[in-house]
Amino acid sequence: MTVVTVGSRASHLARAQVAEYLAPLRRRFPHIDFRHRVVTESADKDRRTALVEVSRAANGAAFAGAQEAALLAKEVDLVVHSFKDLPAAPTPGLVLLPPPGREDARDALCGNTLDSLPKGARVGTSAPRRTAQLLAARPDLRIVPIRGNVPPRLAKAKAGGLDAVVLAAAGLRRLGRAGDISELLPVDPFTPSPAQGALGIQIREDDAMLRDLLAGLGDPEADAQVRAERALLTALRSGCDLPVGAYARTRSDGSLSLTARVTALDGTREVAVTATGPAADPETLGRNVAEDLLCHGAGPLLEAARAVTG
C-alpha cells in the first residue's frame, strides 16, 4: 500500500484543515494510506516573544519553515498550510498545488459589532494590517496585542476584558466556532490578507507520483485569486508583517477583480486600488495593482510600517 505522509502544525486549526483536505482524497484514493504527522514551527515553540520577532528570526517563515524543511528531508510528502502564512517567495525544490476551493476570506469581529463598540473600546489583534484597518475606520479604538491559536485568543479576549477580537472567519468556521462571530467585516474597507481562507498544498517539485495523483483536483478560481493576491505581495516586497490587504474575486464573466490596500499603521492614511484583468494571467493583474498602489503613494506607507515591524 502506498503511504503518503501529510504534515501540518499541531494546532486544532491545522488538524481541521488536514481533515478537510484529506476527506475527499481518502474517498477517491482508497488504495493510498494518508498518514498525518505534526511538524512544530518556530511560532509554535515560542509563545511569549512578539510575533514580529519570531518571524524575523525565521526569515519570515515562522509558520512554514520547519514544515518546508520536513518536506525537503522527505519526512513528510505533502504539507497543508494556511496559505496566508506562506511567504510569497517560492521555496526551491517545492511547489504549491492549486488550492482545493476557498473558505470565507473575510475577517470577523467577535464580541461586538463595529457599530456597537463603545468609544475607546479595546480590540484584540496583533496583525499590523488589522490594526491599521481598524484604526482607519475607528480612530478611537484601543488595539491590544493578542497572540496564540484561535480558541485561546477567543478565551483571552473574554478573560482579558476585551470588547472584541478580530480573527479570520475561515479559521473560526473550520474550528466550528462560527457562532462566536459577531460581524463579518466587509472586504471593503477591511481587505483581508492575501490568500486568507485558502489552504496552501505543498509538495516536492520532483514528486511525480503526487503531482500526477493530485493534478486537476484544485479549484482553478481559487488558484487564480490567490495567485493575483500573492503576486501583489511579491511586487510590494511585503509579507503578513505589513499592513497590506489584497482580495481577488472571480466575476461572472470569468475575469478577475483585485482590490488591494495599504494602510498607515495608525490608520491616518490609506491607498486603495481595484482593477480587473483576465483570470488566465493573475500575476500580471497583481503586479499592475501593486504598481498602481505605489503610484498613489503606498511606498512611504510601506516604508514607515517596515521601520516599525521590521
Ligand X SMILES: NCc1[nH]cc(CCC(=O)O)c1CC(=O)O
197 interacts with ligand X by CB under 6 A? yes
Q: Say which residue the cell 505581495 belongs to.
A: 233
Determine whether 129 is an active site residue.
yes
Q: Specify whether the backbone of 129 is left (phi greater than 0), alpha (psi in -120 to 50) or beta.
A: alpha
As a whole number of Å, the CA-based R_g of the chain is 19
In terms of C-beta distances under 8 Å and separation of at least 24 residues, what long-range contacts does 117-120 make, across chains too?
117/141, 117/163, 117/164, 118/163
Site membership for ligand X, residue 85 (CB under 6 A): yes
Catalytic residue among 102, 106, 130, 227: 130
Nearest CA among 198, 185, 192, 197 for reference residue 263: 192
Report, in Å, the least distance between residue 50 CB and ligand X: 14
Active site residue 110: no
Q: Give me the least distance between CB of 245 and ligand X, in Å please.
A: 12
Residue 231 binds to ligand X (criterion: CB under 6 A) = no
Map the footprint of ligand X across residues 112-171, applying CB under 6 A: 150, 167-168, 170-171
Active site residue 35: no
| Residue 111 vs 171, nearer CB to ligand X | 171
Q: With contacts defined by CB under 6 A, how many residues of the chain interact with ligand X?
A: 10
Q: Interacting stretch for ligand X, rule CB under 6 A, among 80-88, 110-118, 271-279, 282-290? A: 80-88
Decide if residue 241 touches ligand X (CB under 6 A).
no
Let me know if 240 is a catalytic residue.
Answer: yes
- Catalytic: 119? no
Q: Is 56 a catalytic residue?
A: no
In whole angstroms, how close is the CB of 33 to ligand X at the nearest point?
A: 27
Would you count residue 84 as binding ligand X (CB under 6 A)?
Answer: yes
Of residues 11, 133, 191, 196, which one binds ligand X by CB under 6 A? 196
Under 8 Å between Cβ of 9 and 39 = yes
Other CB atoms within 10 Å distance of the CB of residue 212:
9
Q: Is 233 in the site for ligand X (CB under 6 A)?
A: no
The partner residues of 246 in beta bridges, in order of sequence, read 260
Spatial CB neighbours of 225, under 8 Å, sequence gap ≥ 6: 102, 198, 248, 249, 250, 256, 282
82 binds ligand X, rule: CB under 6 A: yes
Enter the C-alpha cell of residue 306: 517596515
Is 46 marked active-site? no
244 is a contact residue toward ligand X (CB under 6 A): no
C-alpha–C-alpha distance, residues 267 and 131, integer Å: 8
Task: Output the DSSP codes for 154-216.
Answer: HHHHHHTT-SEEEEEHHHHHHTT-GGG-SEEPPTTTSPPPTTTT-EEEEEETT-HHHHHHHTT
Q: Which triple of cell numbers denotes residue 233?
A: 505581495
The catalytic residue among 85, 104, 163, 292 is 85
Please, what is the minimum distance in Å from the beta carbon of residue 168 to ligand X?
3
CB of 177 to ligand X, least distance (A): 11
Shortest separation between residue 174's beta carbon and ligand X, angstroms: 7
d(C-alpha 181, C-alpha 8), whole Å: 26
Could you list the active site residues?
A: 84-85, 129-130, 147, 153, 240
Contacts to ligand X by CB under 6 A: 82, 84-85, 150, 167-168, 170-171, 196-197
